[in-house]
């Protein structure tokens, strides 16, 4: 059962019970309707309470049901709410913990609301490319006012209920025991004379609604071309009209948005993020190892950022270095980062001190030997890693998790430096590690299941999005970016210039084009990888323009020149005549007649390079599912959220079309470098998608 029914002392209590968050799927809606019918038919019942079991009142409509016939099957949420609102017996919602989306709309349809102070209130549909579709845009302005409702709906932000104590959203506020309080409240109002209050009967008042709404429309107009925010404004604006008309306009907009590719992609991203934490062969009830003490080795760029990720989550960290000077520099950098956040008003001085007090600095392995988890972030050199892991194997207590933040080295080889490869795992953070959400958890051949489960749970605690990757060169993200950068290079040889490539892919929605990105990361890093690749895989072809650039000392922003020119104190990338001449000259040397390349070709070649490599990665089992590849790109590489990641984007375009395009582009100059991945071809032939 997804909703329970009980009568206590004349009050019927309908309890939503659909874990994890009492999503209002079809079965739950049926359960509420069955409860309402019983309560209305039972003369001994004088009032009704609707509550939620477990950790939520309700997280809203069941997102997993969207796009299936169940979503539209009656009773719809609207029908449920209409039934509640029309009930002659008073209906009281008992809100605790989470009341979001359709869950909040259900409560707004009740006559009264008893709410715990700490309940989290939101209409977050806009984050899924939608708007509240069960009366939220009409009843919330009537409950809390036009401006407050518009802010909540357009931002999708969560607010605790105590902020609404003085509004019609809350009839009675409690600290806890909300169901008891709601029952009591229901008994009190059961015999009140007259009809029970309905939000629909109120009018939305605003002194200068037109001016305010005009301003709101202007503000959301720039929301990256996404349709939902503006539709939210329009629907809230309709709350100034008669209720039923507003409801019709809301419904129309909701159905329209539900069918947009943006919403499909954002819903995919929501579910993909949750799916990433599930590893097929790691049972959900795998016992976790205790993680009370964490150590980080190496206080450089990554070690410092990793330590901050733990400190931010209130987890003590011991930071180890070989030299006092490096240690002092590392600790000072952490403090400076916190101080600068405090200066911006985002952290109080007490918070800065509280975080710093969780940090211990040491030069001695003796101080970390009882840590439960140690993350190595020393130089990217196998010899240095070997020395560190040998040492860790000697001194760390049994059962400690030994993690490496290596970005390019073989985690199995690192594990083999120890006598406990089952305890070794890769934790590939991204720079700056205290800011970037993505964490690739690299699963070695021997990594124990409980190590994986523990690290995934830890990632959630430090607010990272963890995705498991098998061992391969570059793991998921960097292995794919290599193919993307390679296409970018070929495009230069064939006729494009860096600014055109960057502009095209940024218009597609990427945060930054490949050339601006490489300039920021440092061209010398990519150069070093290409040199290594040339030794390991001499037949690997790529555009040599990047090498020519490095030979000219154009290492990127840090050198003041890279693919672009930079001015001191200015991060703006200025197109460089010198680089553009070099590119044209290089095409001539290769005997290539440069041609005009369309933005569409640029986007397809870059994105399909990601898709094709992603398909190989899934096929080889490096990623256990295509949505994991999407999560890596959404959380670590600036892929536009509203396209749902490269694999999801390919599904939207149609895999047949993607395979055809790759084949067509492969006939060009870089032809022999590009073959359609077998999985992509297989799915295309079967008319399926990666995420089906
Ligand atoms: N439908 C279905 N499943 C949902 C859900 C929903 N609305 N909200 C959360 N879940 C599931 C998650 O998929 C996850 O499932 P899993 O355990 O199988 O992986 C589980 O609940 C826990 O979710 P989180 O990991 O996100 O748990 P948190 O405790 O961190 O957060 C939450 C809980 C705040 C409720 C968060 O999940 C959330 O923000 N959910 C989305 C809420 C939302 O967008 N609601 C609007 C839905 S659209 C709607 O209501 C339309 C209506 O207007 C008609
Ligand atoms: P870094 O050079 O900034 O820092 C390395 C630190 O390790 C230095 O402070 C050094 O003194 C210290 N160190 C060296 N040998 C040591 C030893 N034996 N014991 C203790 N400390 C030692 O390097 P960075 O960039 O922080 O990289 C560290 C690791 O993180 C590398 O494996 C790198 O591949 C990986 N990585 C780097 C990313 C980046 O963007 N910089 C991104 C993801 C991973």
Residue 266 inside a domain? The answer is no
- Residue 261 in this model has a pLDDT that exceeds 90: yes
Nearest CA to ligand 1 atom 42: 59
Distance CA(680)–CA(655), nearest Å, equals 7
Residue 27 lies in a domain: yes
657/595 same-domain check:
yes
Q: What is the mean predicted confidence (pLDDT) over 522-526?
A: 90
- 603 lies in some domain: yes
465 and 481 inside one domain: no
Domain identity same for 510 and 463:
no
Give the whole-number percent of the chain exceeding pLDDT 70: 99
Nearest CA to ligand 2 atom 28: 377
Residues 224 and 76 occupy one common structural domain? yes
In a domain, 308, yes or no: yes
- Confidence (pTM): 0.95
**What confidence score (pLDDT) does residue 536 get?**
86
Helix pair 475-494, 626-636: axis angle to 10 deg: 70
CATH number reported for the structural domain that contains residue 435 in this entry: 3.40.50.720
Can you give the CATH number for the domain in which 213 is found?
3.90.226.10
Three-state secondary-structure class, residue 206 = coil
Is residue 224 scored above 70 in pLDDT? no
What pLDDT score was predicted for residue 223? 66
What was the pLDDT predicted at 221? 82
Respond yes or no: is residue 250 known to be catalytic: no
Give DSSP secondary structure letters for 334-393.
Answer: HHHHHHHHHHTTSS-HHHHHHHHHTEEEES-GGGTTT-SEEEE---S-HHHHHHHHHHHH
Q: How do residues 480-505 score in pLDDT, each as one tens digit?
A: 999 999 999 999 999 999 999 999 99
Q: Which among 622, 644, 624 is positioned nearest to 633, based on CA atoms?
A: 644
State how far the Cα of 646 lies from the Cα of 677, in Å rounded to an integer. 15
Are 657 and 522 members of one domain? yes
Final residue in a domain of this structure, among 469, 501, 518: 469
The number of folded domains in the chain is 3
Whether 424 and 502 map to the same domain: the answer is no
* Residue 668, pLDDT score: 76
| Unique residue bearing structure tokens 């959400």 | 437
Distance from residue 299's CA to the centre of ligand 2 (Å) = 7
Instruction: Decide whether any atom of ligand 1 lies within 6 Å of the 129 Cβ.
Output: no
Are 230 and 309 contained in the same domain?
no
Quote the pLDDT of residue 538: 86
Query: Does a structural domain hold residue 53?
Result: yes
In-domain check, residue 215: yes
> In the chain, what percentage of residues exceed pLDDT 90?
93
Domain boundary residue among 469, 485, 503?
469
Q: Is residue 413 part of a domain?
A: yes
Decide whether any atom of ligand 1 lies within 6 Å of the 25 Cβ: no
Q: Are 96 and 178 in contact (CB under 8 A)?
A: yes
Active site residue 183: no
Which residues constitute the domain of residue 184?
A: 3-258
Chain-centre distance of CA 499, in angstroms?
29
Asked whether 377 lines ligand 2 (CB < 6 A), one says: yes
Residue 6: strand pairing partners: 13
Do 483 and 464 belong together in one domain?
no
pLDDT band at 651 (very low <50, low <70, confident <90, very high): very high
Nearest to 481 by CA among 517, 508, 433: 517
- Are residues 185 and 39 part of one domain? yes
Q: Which ligand is nearest to the CA of 368?
A: 2
Nearest to 8 by CA among 123, 147, 179: 179
Q: How would you classify the pairing of strands 564-567 and 570-575?
A: antiparallel
pLDDT of amino acid 105: 98
Residue 614: pLDDT band by 50, 70, 90 thresholds? very high
Q: Helix (H, G, I), strand (E, B), or coil: what is residue 441?
A: strand
The per-residue pLDDT for range 539-596, each reduced to its tens digit, is: 888 899 999 999 999 999 999 999 999 999 888 999 999 999 999 999 999 999 999 9
Residue 195's pLDDT band (cuts 50, 70, 90): confident
Q: Does 279 fall in a domain?
A: no
- The ligand 1 atom nearest the CA atom of 128: 44
Examine the domain organization and report whether 235 and 325 are in the same domain. Answer: no
Alpha helices in 541-687 (DSSP H): 545-551, 577-590, 599-619, 626-636, 646-653, 655-666, 678-685
Grade residue 530 by pLDDT with cuts at 50, 70 and 90. confident
Q: Cα 368–369–370 angle (5° rounding)? A: 95
From the CB of 269, is ligand 1 less than 6 Å away? no
CB of 321 within 6 A of ligand 2: the answer is yes
Of 258, 281, 310, the one marking the end of a domain is 258
Q: For residues 402 and 515, state if they share a domain.
A: no
The model's pLDDT over 98-130, given as tens digits with 9 standing for 90+, comes to 999 999 999 999 999 999 999 999 999 999 999
Would you call 546 helix, strand, or coil by DSSP?
Answer: helix
């Amino acid at each position: 059962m997804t909703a329970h029914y009980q009568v206590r002392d004349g009050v019927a209590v309908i309890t939503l019970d659909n874990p994890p968050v009492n999503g209002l799927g079809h079965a739950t809606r049926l359960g509420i309707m069955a409860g309402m019918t019983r309560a209305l038919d039972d003369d001994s019942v004088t009032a009704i309470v609707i509550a939620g079991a477990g950790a939520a009142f309700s997280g809203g409509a069941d997102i997993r049901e969207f796009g299936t016939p169940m979503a539209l099957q009656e009773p719809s949420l609207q029908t449920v709410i209409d039934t509640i609102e029309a009930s002659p017996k008073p209906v009281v919602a008992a809100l605790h913990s989470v009341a979001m989306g359709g869950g909040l709309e259900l409560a707004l349809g009740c006559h009264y609301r008893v709410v715990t102070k700490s309940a989290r209130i939101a209409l977050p549909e806009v984050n899924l490319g939608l708007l509240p579709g069960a009366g939220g845009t009409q009843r919330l302005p009537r409950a809390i006012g036009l401006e407050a409702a518009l802010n909540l709906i357009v931002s999708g932000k969560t607010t605790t209920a105590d902020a609404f104590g003085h509004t019609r959203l809350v009839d009675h506020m409690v600290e806890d025991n909300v169901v008891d309080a709601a029952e009591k409240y229901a008994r009190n109002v059961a015999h009140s004379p007259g009809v029970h209050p309905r939000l629909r009967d109120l009018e939305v008042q605003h002194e200068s609604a037109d001016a305010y709404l005009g301003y709101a429309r202007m503000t959301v107009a720039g929301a990256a071309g996404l349709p939902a925010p503006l539709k939210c404004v329009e629907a809230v604006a309709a709350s100034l009209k008669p209720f039923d008309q507003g409801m019709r306009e809301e419904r129309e907009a909701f159905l329209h948005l539900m069918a947009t590719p943006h919403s499909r992609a954002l819903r995919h991203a929501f579910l993909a993020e949750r799916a990433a934490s599930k590893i097929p062969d790691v049972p959900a009830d795998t016992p976790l190892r205790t993680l009370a003490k964490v150590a980080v080795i190496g206080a450089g760029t990554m070690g410092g950022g990793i330590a901050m990720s733990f400190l931010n989550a209130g987890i003590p960290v011991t930071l180890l270095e070989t030299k006092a000077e490096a240690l002092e520099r590392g600790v000072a950098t952490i403090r400076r980062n916190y101080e600068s956040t405090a200066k911006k008003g985002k952290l109080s001085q007490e918070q800065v001190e509280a975080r710093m007090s969780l940090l211990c600095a040491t030069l001695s392995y003796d101080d970390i030997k009882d840590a439960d988890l140690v993350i190595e972030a020393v130089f990217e050199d196998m010899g240095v890693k070997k020395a560190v892991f040998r040492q860790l194997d000697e001194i760390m207590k049994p059962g400690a998790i030994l993690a490496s933040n290596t970005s390019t080295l073989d985690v199995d080889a690192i594990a083999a430096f120890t006598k406990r490869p089952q305890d070794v795992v890769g934790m590939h953070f991204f720079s700056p590690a205290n800011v970037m959400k993505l964490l690739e958890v690299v699963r070695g051949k021997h990594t124990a299941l409980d190590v994986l489960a523990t690290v995934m749970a830890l990632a959630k605690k430090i607010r990272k999005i963890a995705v498991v990757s098998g061992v391969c060169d570059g793991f998921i993200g960097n292995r794919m970016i290599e193919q993307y950068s390679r296409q970018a290079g070929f495009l230069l040889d064939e006729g494009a210039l860096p600014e055109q490539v960057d502009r095209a892919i940024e218009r597609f929605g990427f945060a930054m084009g490949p050339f601006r990105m490489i300039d920021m990361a440092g061209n010398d890093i990519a150069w070093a990888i290409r040199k290594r690749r040339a030794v390991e895989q001499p037949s690997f072809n790529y555009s040599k323009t990047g090498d020519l650039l490095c030979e000219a000392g154009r290492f990127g922003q840090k050198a003041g020149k890279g693919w672009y020119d930079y001015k001191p104190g200015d991060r703006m990338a200025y197109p460089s005549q010198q680089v553009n001449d070099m590119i044209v000259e290089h095409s001539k040397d290769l005997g290539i007649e440069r041609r005009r390349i369309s933005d569409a070709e640029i986007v397809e070649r870059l994105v399909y390079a990601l898709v094709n490599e992603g398909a190989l990665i899934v096929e080889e089992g490096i990623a256990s599912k295509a949505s994991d590849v999407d999560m890596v790109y959404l959380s670590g590489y600036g892929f536009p959220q509203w396209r749902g990641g490269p694999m999801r984007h390919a599904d939207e375009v149609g895999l047949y079309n993607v395979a055809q395009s790759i084949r067509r582009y492969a006939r060009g100059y870089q032809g022999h470098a590009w073959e359609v991945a077998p999985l992509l071809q297989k799915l295309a032939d079967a008319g399926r998608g990666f995420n089906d």
